């Protein structure tokens, strides 16, 4: 079975081109001003012009107001709305109904107890994303993209009705092991393919996607 990959936090055309050229299944644009990867709706629309070949476009939002989502959708089409904050299941349903798009909901993991959140969202969101919970002792921690991994063994053998992807500290060097341990069939990286926060490295994008393509799964 093929493992698919999402490259998130894209904010320049060279990185977008690298992601598309080397086989990303999804590309993500961040609409969250505190993030170094944040883009405006106009910037994202320009970048989306380089997304071809059936690659799906994901817009990442953190506890967004409807007005922000609407402003983005006025400028470009999205295949998924990614919610990476503390959105409740009711808010997920509301956004799906209002904007008519599938929702990818992030669940933050730091222990076995974190998996209890799955039951709240698996029949509400169209896809789930498991990411490392932001550290409480880090003043500048973001809701995602902190380059931190969690214990992938927590997901081993898990049965979830909803499709899901794995994020958190993934790069070309560890993605095969992450897939082997967790059993995921979709992986997501942002900081793992950067020179520095918010500065994507096209060579690292290529290496990550080649590493994913080389994974052999049953």
Q: Which domains does the chain have, with CATH numbers?
A: 4-213 (3.20.20.70)
CB 200 within 8 A of CB 10: yes
Residue 135 pLDDT = 62
Residue/partner pairs of 80-87 with CB below 8 Å, 24 or more apart: 80/26, 80/56, 80/104, 80/126, 80/127, 82/28, 82/58, 82/106, 82/129, 83/125, 84/32, 84/60, 84/129, 84/131, 84/143, 84/144, 85/61, 85/143, 87/63
Active site annotation includes 8: yes
Residue 142 pLDDT = 56
**Of 8, 116, 140, 171, catalytic:** 8
Residue 143 pLDDT = 58
Q: Which helix (H) or strand (E) holds 205?
A: helix 202-213
Active site annotation includes 116: no
Average pLDDT by stretches of 10, the chain with 218 residues: 94 98 98 96 98 97 98 98 97 98 96 94 97 68 65 93 95 97 97 95 98 87
Residue 155 pLDDT = 96
Residue 33 pLDDT = 95
Residue 217 pLDDT = 72
**Of 131, 151, 171, 188, catalytic:** 131
pTM of the entire predicted model: 0.93
């Amino acid at each position: 079975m093929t493992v698919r990959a999402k490259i998130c936090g894209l904010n320049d055309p060279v990185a977008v081109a690298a992601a598309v050229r080397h086989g990303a299944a999804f590309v993500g644009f961040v609409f969250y001003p505190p993030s170094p990867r944040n883009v405006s709706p106009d910037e994202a629309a320009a970048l989306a012009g380089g997304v071809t070949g059936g690659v799906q476009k994901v817009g990442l939002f953190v506890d967004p107001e409807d007005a922000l989502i609407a402003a983005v959708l006025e400028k470009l089409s999205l295949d998924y709305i990614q919610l990476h904050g503390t959105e409740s299941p009711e808010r997920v349903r509301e956004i799906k109904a209002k904007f008519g798009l599938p929702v990818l909901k992030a669940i933050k993991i730091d222990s076995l107890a974190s998996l209890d959140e799955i039951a709240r969202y698996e029949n509400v969101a169209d896809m789930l994303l498991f990411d490392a919970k932001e550290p409480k002792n880090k003043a500048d921690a973001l809701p995602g993209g902190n380059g931190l991994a969690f214990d992938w063994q927590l997901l081993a053998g898990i049965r979830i009705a909803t499709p899901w992807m794995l994020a958190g500290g993934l790069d070309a060097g560890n993605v095969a092991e992450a897939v082997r341990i967790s059993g995921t069939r979709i992986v997501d990286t942002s900081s793992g393919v950067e020179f520095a926060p918010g500065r994507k490295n096209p060579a690292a994008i290529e290496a990550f996607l080649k590493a994913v393509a080389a994974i052999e799964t049953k």
